[in-house]
């Protein structure tokens, strides 16, 4: 991804907890978990209204939030396929998930699953790190 923005820059807003600075705030996007405009911080437990959140406007080159997620996944899949694909293929062959000659479509399916679960694990771990940072009184990274 380039740091240079094209002529079609999309404006967006990210919201942060006013107490701890975490972006792990439920109800601050399309996903509304708490009722009636209330939001809750998953890191420190703060609760309040959407208007109480710290907000930062920024521009990005993506058409939508879905486009951001797709590009993030595509980047991770490309990384896994190019840099770690042969290592995973050897692992899958060793443990019988693939057989010789290895089916490239089946390998691609495994690599896509590895990328999908890896991204999920990264996002979950980020939330845990945020919560630990708040519990230990550290400032945001």
Render pLDDT for 112-140 as a digit per residue (tens, 0 to 9). Answer: 999 999 999 998 898 899 889 888 876 55
Number of residues that this document lists for the chain = 141
**Overall average pLDDT of the 12-21 stretch:** 85
Distance between first and last Cα of the chain:
22
Quote the pTM value.
0.65
Is the pLDDT at 102 greater than 90? The verdict is no
Render pLDDT for 42-55 as a digit per residue (tens, 0 to 9). Answer: 888 899 988 888 88
Contact criterion met (CB below 8 Å) for 44 and 90: no
- Which parts of 53-103 fold into alpha helices (H)? 65-79, 85-94
In whole angstroms, what is the distance from residue 53 CA to residue 65 CA? 20
Neighbours of 132 (CB within 10 A): 11
In whole angstroms, what is the distance from residue 58 CA to residue 128 CA? 25
Residue 36 has a pLDDT of 56
**Overall average pLDDT of the 102-113 stretch:** 92
């Amino acid at each position: 991804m380039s740091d240079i923005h094209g002529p079609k820059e999309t404006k967006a807003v990210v919201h942060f907890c006013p107490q701890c600075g975490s972006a792990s705030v439920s109800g601050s996007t399309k996903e509304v978990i708490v009722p009636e405009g209330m939001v809750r911080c998953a890191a420190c437990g703060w609760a309040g209204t959407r208007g109480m959140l710290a907000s930062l406007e920024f521009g990005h080159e993506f058409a939508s939030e879905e486009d951001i997620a797709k590009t993030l996944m595509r980047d991770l899949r490309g990384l896994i396929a190019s840099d770690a694909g042969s290592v995973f293929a050897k692992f899958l062959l060793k443990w019988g998930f693939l057989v010789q000659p290895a089916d490239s479509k089946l390998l691609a399916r495994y690599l896509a699953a590895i990328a999908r679960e890896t991204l999920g694990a990264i996002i979950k771990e980020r939330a845990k790190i945020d919560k630990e940072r708040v519990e230990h009184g550290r400032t945001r990274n």
